Amino acid sequence: MERFSVPATSAVSLSDPFFAPRVEANRTATIPACLRFCEETHRLESFDLKWKDGDKWYPHIYWDSDVAKVVEGMARELARRPDPALAERLDAVARRIVAAQQPDGYLNTHFTQVEPEKRWSNLHECHELYCAGHLIEAAVAHFEATGERFFLDAMRRYADCIAKTFGRKRGQKRGYPGHEELELALCRLADATGERKYLDLAAYFVDERGRKPNYYVKKEGWQEGRLTYLQAHEPPREQREAVGHAVRWAYLCCGMADVAAATGDAGLFDACRAMWENATGRRMLVTGGIGTTREGEAFERDFKLGNLTAYAESCAAIGLALFSRRMHEITGEGRYLDVLERALYNGIPSGISLSGDRFFYQNPLASNADSPYDRERQSWFSCSCCPTNFARFWPQAAQLCWALSPGEVRLCVPAASELKLENGLCLKVESRYPYDGKVAVRVSGDARPAGTSAGAQARSAARSLAPFALSLRIPDWCPKFSLAVNGKRVAAKAKDGFVSIERLWKPGDEVALDLAMPVRVLRAHDAVEADAGRIALQRGPLVYALESVDNGPGLHRISIPAKQAFRLVRAKGLPRGTVAIAGKAFETTRPGDALYSAAAPRTRLRRFVAIPYALWQNRGLSEMQVWTRES
């Protein structure tokens, strides 16, 4: 079923003004900060198995996952850019993890030391299988980056231990993860090892979930009415809505999509498609955030999308982006990349500072003195799933820009980047995206090695010639575009969100794509009560927000006319090249100090400035709003 795949980490690189600095900050700041806090909070120490009753700390049920995500980030970073010091540290941490493995293959620092008698007894809330999934993902990334097998082999033994424990045979538990993640990790393990049994185990966990009698209710005493929180109220292949804890949902959908792609299970894929459509068409914020209520970090009903109260956990936006990438790989449809891009440029980067060492757990669409969430990013959280998730996400950013299949190369996100193909050709994207829609893709070949003869160079160049389709995505926000190959205009129509040029590509070829990038005035569906009478601004993939740093306090008093000539201006105090939107607005006040008054309001014409939402709260404490009253 799967049609496309992402290129290897080592085959791609970024040089754009938006993501490349964040990827570098991840290397220099995010990973070191996460490692430091894992040391200071005893997360790493817990793998030494020296904890004893009476210590001032104890290994928490989800700590293993935090360490695993940092290790995965280190491995992905090492694959992206060789670094001897990082390689040495990665090796030390990986060996520290493996040393905690038990003789039967089990590996969990909490249940090995704190509650050994309760192993596998509380799947619905104790994160045992969730931690196992992240450890497996870390091991696969470590193997791919280093070629060493000790970590991978240890996690194979752990997966075998899990397979022995869970299943439908006599004496096995019919349980499944309370917090999904293991499903997708087992698919990655199957790919890395070539062993089908891990894919089969992933399929079991997907198919067993939600069956009657319900395992969580019958065996663990979980409340029947709360099963939707865990997506366990019915079998996943029968589900059609995005419900419950948003991160759990996104990870489950990733695992379902992986199993569907590997097995050709059309019914499972249909469930993925239906849930994706419900989530993105009825329950997603304009920034690509999902899980809008703090109560359970969960989805709400259709169109209930608040602003000040929007939860939108950083991990959930990452999960939605990774799910959408998988859906594109299976179908080739550009609409899935439209959502990936929305999260990639808005709901994900808003969760981390430009410096790379401060984080938002929640990403609301408005913030003021009464905000129910943090108004400034924090250096760490007691539950630090989001900081550690960034550590492993940013090294993947370049891979998300491209997709490969036999005979086709797709530019999914036209950020300035470079892709090295196996045939020796190199595709280099030059652009200022997301601030400009002019994109150039230049084809080059491998440089001639020192001492190579002219004849050998010519033979090498001849081998580099390869006919394939180069497809460029036309985003859903783009009203028109133009395309040229080697300076000659090409008439092309987009199909499934892409335009394709198939030819015998050779060094020196160049494709020019010009995406119109006007300021768009967005209005929400009329069932979204929170946004009635309000507008949001978007240019290219970027959703914009007003911040009091530019506009002064009292943003609620500002209204913006939708019909006006918006101007593009330099954003003050933000990275060079950041484009802000400026225009005219009205500010309404009411004279007098009385709480209620019949006095007529006063309105004055003023100027407003909006910056990319992803960059808010990088210039100090500030009010912010995405949706502004329309005048």
**408 part of the active site:** no
Burial class (CB in 10 A: 0-12, 13-18, 19+), 605: exposed
Q: Which two tokens stand for residue 386?
A: 């989001």
What interhelical angle do 150-165 and 196-208 show, nearest 10?
A: 40
**Euclidean distance between CA atoms 174 and 200, whole angstroms:** 15
**315 part of the active site:** no
**Euclidean distance between CA atoms 574 and 487, whole angstroms:** 35
Q: Which two tokens stand for residue 312?
A: 């939108």
Question: What three-state secondary structure class fits 390?
Answer: helix
Q: Are 2 and 258 in contact (CB under 8 A)?
A: no
**Beta 579-589 vs 628-630: how paired, if at all?**
unpaired
**Euclidean distance between CA atoms 183 and 253, whole angstroms:** 9
How many Cβ atoms from other residues are within 10 Å of residue 63's Cβ?
A: 26
Q: Are 181 and 134 in contact (CB under 8 A)?
A: yes
**Euclidean distance between CA atoms 477 and 542, whole angstroms:** 10
**Euclidean distance between CA atoms 631 and 71, whole angstroms:** 50
**Beta 408-411 vs 466-473: how paired, if at all?**
parallel
Question: What three-state secondary structure class fits 482?
Answer: strand
Q: Which two tokens stand for residue 419?
A: 């892709």
Burial class (CB in 10 A: 0-12, 13-18, 19+), 451: exposed
Amino acid (one-letter) located at 395 = P
Q: Cα 274–293–341 angle (5° rounding)?
A: 55
Q: Cα 291–337–309 angle (5° rounding)?
A: 20
Q: Which of 385, 386, 412, 478 is catalytic?
A: 385
Whole-Å CA distances, 211 to 240, 302, 623: 16, 26, 47
Whole-Å CA distances, 223 to 174, 229, 319: 18, 11, 26
Pick from 463, 473, 484: nearest CA to 421: 463
Give start and end residues of each alpha helix (H) in 81-213: 84-98, 109-113, 128-146, 150-165, 182-193, 196-208
Q: Are 351 and 614 in contact (CB under 8 A)?
A: no
Whole-Å CA distances, 377 to 128, 191, 223, 574: 29, 37, 35, 16
**Euclidean distance between CA atoms 338 and 393, whole angstroms:** 19
Pick from 407, 245, 392: nearest CA to 311: 245
**Euclidean distance between CA atoms 396 and 275, whole angstroms:** 25
Q: Are 237 and 268 in contact (CB under 8 A)?
A: yes
Question: What three-state secondary structure class fits 243?
Answer: coil
Pick from 145, 134, 183: nearest CA to 388: 134
Q: Which of 128, 181, 183, 297 is catalytic?
A: 297
Residues belonging to the active site = 297, 385
